[in-house]
Chains A and B, each alone.
Chain A
């Protein structure tokens, strides 16, 4: 178990939460749920409804599309937001490469959370813009 203080210290160093004050970080630590996944466990399941928004606190995960690994996610990375924002099922599996500790927010809570924390929304937009730029570079 991670104490709230330890969790706050841990997420304070992440780009996603870099703009939040300490009380806001404490609220994040309370509002998100901590989940652990052993190596090999699926966190997101391609094609299945009702997933959440995940932020990796510790460990690494693989993004797998139709059985093919496409990317590796590490501490500070997040996933699950695309299917929540679009109201669709995930288009990839996310599988723990080694023991993974995440913060999780249910999909239904994401909109309200982002509206309450526009700076976090801005950071997510920045990350998505980077992903889009990199995807375009691959194509060109």
Chain B
């Protein structure tokens, strides 16, 4: 009979007992699952541990109103299971085997192209089950030590089941811990995750701290119930439809903004909160100063909910020397998602947004979402395999004419380039034996800065104007030239004009290509 841990997970046949592993992955959300899948397929021995009882990570609980922000289009201009379809499916994890691809749409009931939380959880559970990903559930990582053991292991992860020694630890623990500001009186404030059922806010004055996506998600859900809604943070609200990127409040939650601009009663304040007090009547007083006009604001409300964002649950990693950046305390990382300050500590899943890349035109990569992080995991797995001496098969050598066809093909098909714009690149190097060697998908920052042989580097990019366009970087003699191609309103880069432009862009290293 299976024993149960304190968290309820069965201990019988639990994989990965404490011990030494080349790689230990912490977490069983989409980031941990995708990385483990890719490591398995490359033959990299590793352990996966998770404090949870089942796969899914944050999607086992959140979003609060049970509907995702990331779409999956069941009907799209590409067949399910093709690389091209991944452009339209932001929520499936990616697999080599056709039967394990495009799982997300199989669970969607057709009421929305944003899966429900439960549908997303089913999708992840199915991926883990069908692909045979093994995880030691109910095993909570509790502390970390840097400790050489003479066998190449650099770290000891302490867990509720015992100690794991490893050369590389990959943390895929998400960014789901509420950030609590030090504002006086914040103990009176409810956290996003503690929000009550919407109907309990009926007729109440609700003050939401924050003006980012989670704040607007709550405001959208409370619109039919609250008597008054005020959203406040020091800087002005950004909307994704204005930034033309995932930066800002997503279109799904813009309704409170429209209510505000049409005078419906929602208020958006650019203000820094000085303090919060509870009155004997039970209501709350917020004291704030407007950052736009400098004026003081005093408001009496019934409820205050904090939606000030989330931070990464890194436990003692900062004490180990892992430096973090930004409001979410995301570890600062190299292009291959390694801590900038503690070699051997790496990250997967949404935490990979700490490897910022070029952030051209201010637009971030989609590493914070499944549809970006899943490709980071594939690249990281190959990088780890190589570091462990498991060389993936060398890429195909292409003739110059075949290179042009391949460039067009990548622009038309590659989900990596589509979802990780100006972040992941397809690379071909000039082969000493003639032609161009397919080097696969690599982080753009690495390719541009690491140097190497003459090469053609291809990305898709955007500049915030709404246009999406190919960019070709040609590395020749150690210096890199950037060539931006024309956008296309139908996002079709396979026509004669783009072929001619591409041929021109690569002419320095591939002269005379037949268009």
| A1 B362 Cβ-Cβ under 8 A | no
Decide yes or no whether A77 CB sits under 8 A from chain B: no
| A47 B482 Cβ-Cβ under 8 A | yes
| A24 B291 Cβ-Cβ under 8 A | yes
| B326 A45 Cβ-Cβ under 8 A | no
How large, as a class, is the contact surface on chain A? 35 or more
- Distance in angstroms between the alpha carbons of A86 and B461 in the assembled complex: 21
- The chain B residue with its CB closest to the CB of A51 is B360
How large, as a class, is the contact surface on chain B? 35 or more
| A23 B182 Cβ-Cβ under 8 A | no
Decide yes or no whether A134 CB sits under 8 A from chain B: no
- Distance in angstroms between the alpha carbons of A34 and B329 in the assembled complex: 10
| A27 B325 Cβ-Cβ under 8 A | no
A78-116 with Cβ < 8 A to chain B: 89, 99, 101, 104-109
Determine the main DSSP class of A at the interface with B: mixed
Decide yes or no whether A36 CB sits under 8 A from chain B: yes
Give the residue of A1, A27, A47, A48 whose beta carbon is less than 8 angstroms from that of B270. A27
- The chain B residue with its CB closest to the CB of A39 is B340
Decide yes or no whether B351 CB sits under 8 A from chain A: no
Q: Which of A3, A35, A50 has the most CB of B within 10 A?
A: A50
> Min CB distance, B259 to chain A, in Å?
23
| B361 A50 Cβ-Cβ under 8 A | yes
Contact A33/B291 with A49-B482, A107-B361 known, Cβ cut-off 8 Å: no
Decide yes or no whether B233 CB sits under 8 A from chain A: yes
B289 cross-chain contacts in A, Cβ below 8 A = 22-23
Decide yes or no whether B272 CB sits under 8 A from chain A: yes
> Mask for A19-38, Cβ within 8 A of B = 1, else 0?
00111101101110111111
A-B pairs with lowest CB-CB distance, top 10: A106-B362, A50-B360, A1-B329, A30-B235, A36-B332, A27-B291, A50-B361, A1-B324, A23-B291, A38-B340
Where the two chains meet, the residues of B that have a C-beta atom closer than 8 Å to any C-beta of A are: 181-182, 233-235, 270-272, 289-292, 294, 311, 318, 323-327, 329, 332, 334, 340-341, 356, 358-363, 422, 448-449, 461, 463-464, 480-482, 484
Where the two chains meet, the residues of A that have a C-beta atom closer than 8 Å to any C-beta of B are: 1, 3-5, 21-24, 26-27, 29-31, 33-38, 41-42, 45, 47-52, 89, 99, 101, 104-109
Give 15 pairs: A residue, B residue, CB < 8 Å, sorted on A: A1-B324, A1-B327, A1-B329, A4-B327, A24-B291, A27-B235, A27-B291, A30-B235, A34-B325, A48-B360, A50-B360, A99-B341, A104-B359, A107-B361, A108-B464
